[in-house]
Every structure is written in structure tokens, then in C-alpha cells.
Structure 1
Amino acid sequence: MSDTAPVTFTLAGILRGLKRTAGLSVGVFVYGAGFGLMAVQAKLSAWQAVAMSIAVFSGSAQLAAIGVLNAGASSLAAMAWALVATILVINARYTLFSATMRPWLGALPPAKSYGTLFILGDGSWMVSMDAYERGERDAGFVFGSSASGCFVWFLGTWIGAVAGNIVPDPQRLGLDFFFAAFAAAMATGLTRKRADIPVIVLAAAIGILGAGMGAYGSAIVVAGLAGGAVAWLRTPADGATR
């Protein structure tokens, strides 16, 4: 299917997205349960934990926010600013995610495009980009794959918060490695030609360096911008990679 194929938004596409991310949703559910447990340990109620999952919807940002809560602050205002800054920095990568979705969602009515972007997650973004490269042009696929992770994240948060004494520390389950391994596997699947390798290596090097310096959120954004810039410089107007 060519890039000029019309973009649609159908129930069939939504169902394909749900089916495609069924396996990933299991991990998202358990990860959400782990967050619910940690939120309760940080003195949040179950409803407050679920409210955070709805408002933020980012495992990495929410776990970092829990770390801020556990660390405490000199005043309520200082803690509030620290929470907002932490969430904004770590979630800045979604600016890049939404930009890559413009060819797919840009032609849709605002309610559909922004509604889909609101529930977009890391896993659904990677799965959707892979599907787009393979010819998928039904934007319902993005919504379906995102809705799957969104629902199980909320459900997992609630169950983890309510039954916190049952769910162990998420790190003991290896869930921190689970999502890193998933991202690596998807990156491998998205690599179509040898020319992609320098872009991936550069972005990975910047990301690892930034993470080593403690700048997790900004490292993701800088790595994405650097990789995108290199890819753009290597691609002339005719679309053939240099």
C-alpha cells in the first residue's frame, strides 16, 4: 500500500489494533498493578492512583512522580512543582511521537485524532509505526492498539492499589526490563535497510549517555531529534537513502 493511500478509521481497524497488542497488554496490566502498589505505599489512595494513571498515563513518569512523593519536599508548593517538572520532562517524548503520527492522523477530524493521541502509549506507538511501515492505513488500528493498553493500565492500577499486599515489587517481576526488551525488539523490526543502522546507533548512544547522566526524559527527546535529523539529512527529495 502506498503512502498516498487514503486514511480511514474503521471498526475493523480498531479490532486489528486490539488483536495486535493483546500480548503486550498482559505486561501493561501487571506493570500497572505494580504502579498501583507503589502508589499505595506512597500514601496515595486507590482512587488517587487511578486518577494519576488517567491524567498522566505514562508508567515511567508516574513511577518517577512516586519517587518525588517518597522523597518529600520542603513545602507542598515545592513538591507540586517538582511533580509537574518531572512529568513534563519524562513525557516530552510524546511530542516526537505525535509528530510521527501526523501523516496518519493529521487528516482525521480533531475528535478522532486528538482522542487517539491522548491514549497513545509507548508500546502502541511502536506497534502502530511498524504497522504503518507494512502498509496499514486505517487509523482505527492506532486507536485500538492504544485503547487496549489504556484500559488495562487503568485496571491494573486499580487492582494493584486495592490488593497491594498481593502484588510484589514490579522490579522483582522484571517489568522494568520487559519494556526495554520490547522496545529493542520493535526497533529491530522497524529496521528495514542498512542505512537505518547509523541512525539507530547514534540515537541509542545519545540516549544511553543521557541516561547515565541522570537526564532520562530529556535524553529520549534529544536522542529522537538527533536520530531524526540524521535520517532527514541522509534522505534526498526523491526519497532514496544516501
Structure 2
Amino acid sequence: MTTLQEILQKQTNVKVIAPEIDYADYIAFDLSATTTDLLDLPLTDSKAFEEFVENYFSTSQAKVAYGGYLEHRNLYKRSTVFKDIDIEERNIHIGLDLWIKAGTPVLAALDGTIHSFQNNMALGDYGPALILEHHIDDCTFYTLYGHLSLESLQGKAEGQKVAKGEMIGTLGAPPVNGDYAPHLHFQIINDMQGKKGDYPGVSSKKELEFYKENCPDPNLLLKIK
């Protein structure tokens, strides 16, 4: 049986944002706890953080900042979505983030259908999110697109067909997108575990081994640099 990782590695020419921007114009962006603590970044001020992100890739003459898979982050401490008295703290990112301006087109990674969508409105959550279902060879898997605009969910229906490279939405601005600097959270999911319109994008240390298996590195598919 072909594994999901093998299927992802075989795919070529996959873009999920702004197809006109070449990967040569992407720059890696480290938002691990060590880095953000050292730089004293304004993580709770979305406007100030947005300015920091834009300055980061513009001064590097890049157009997109990317990264974050398996990063241990402090971004989530402000929200009870990721820690309260009843749950272990979740602070390890299991998707890949692509940081660019609000309104940037978001594209379907592969041919598929709309599995589900939802506006996840809690502080620090996805905001509008869309999940696609894909079937390749003998494998079914899913791609999640988080932090979209509200308009991205309009006219959508479960089961609706989408084509690889088709525009499925645009990036949202804070506070619509969960109150983050604009970016796409892109995640690959093997088993949705019965969830619809939402799936964890951040893991606790205790559950990390499961999520590493269920949510492989999105860069296996995107192949950025």
C-alpha cells in the first residue's frame, strides 16, 4: 500500500497561495519560543505583529515568510483555546504557516472536494477555515486552510468539487482570522477523527507523536526551497 508520505512526495507544482510568487521569493521565518522571547515580539498585539512580519520579509527582499512545522511556540499563551484548567497546554505547531498580506488568494493544493468549513471565532483560533478531501491511489486524506476571510466561506457546499490550483478563498485580516497577523495555516491530515470545519493545528507535548503521524510535514507536498 502506498503511504501518504509517498503520495505527497510524488506531487509536483503545488501552490496554496499567490501562484505568481516564485518559491525563490519565500524566506524561512522562525517563530519558536526561543526566538520570540529573545526578540521580545509583540505577540498579543496583532497590528504590531503584522508590522513586524511585513518588515521581516520586505527587508529581506522576500514576498512570503514561511515555516512553523513542529515549532514550540509562545504565540498561544494568550488564548484559552490552547490552555485552561481542564487541558494540557498545546504549544507545538503541526501545520505550516505562510505569512503575507490579507486578501492574498488561497488555492486548492490538489484536486478534491470540500469536506467541511466553519468560522472558528475564538481568540487565537482559525477564524474561517476550509477543509478539502483528496483521493489519490488508495489513500484518502485532507488539507486544511485556516485564517481565511469571511467571504471565503460564501457559496461553499460540502461535496463541492475543486481543482488543483483553483482559488478557494483569500486570507483574512485580524480580528476575523483569530486576531493574528495575516497568514495561511496549511495542514495535511490523514484522519479527521470525525471532526468537521476544524481540526487541531497545535499539539501538546503529550500528544505530539500521534499528531506527527496524523499530520505530516506540509512541505513534503509544497516543496518550498
TM-score, normalised via structure 2 length? 0.25
More strand by share: 2
TM-score scaled by length of structure 1: 0.24
**Larger radius of gyration, structure 1 or 2?**
1
Task: Considering Cα pairs closer than 8 Å and 6+ residues apart, tell me whether 1 or 2 has the greater RCO.
Answer: 1
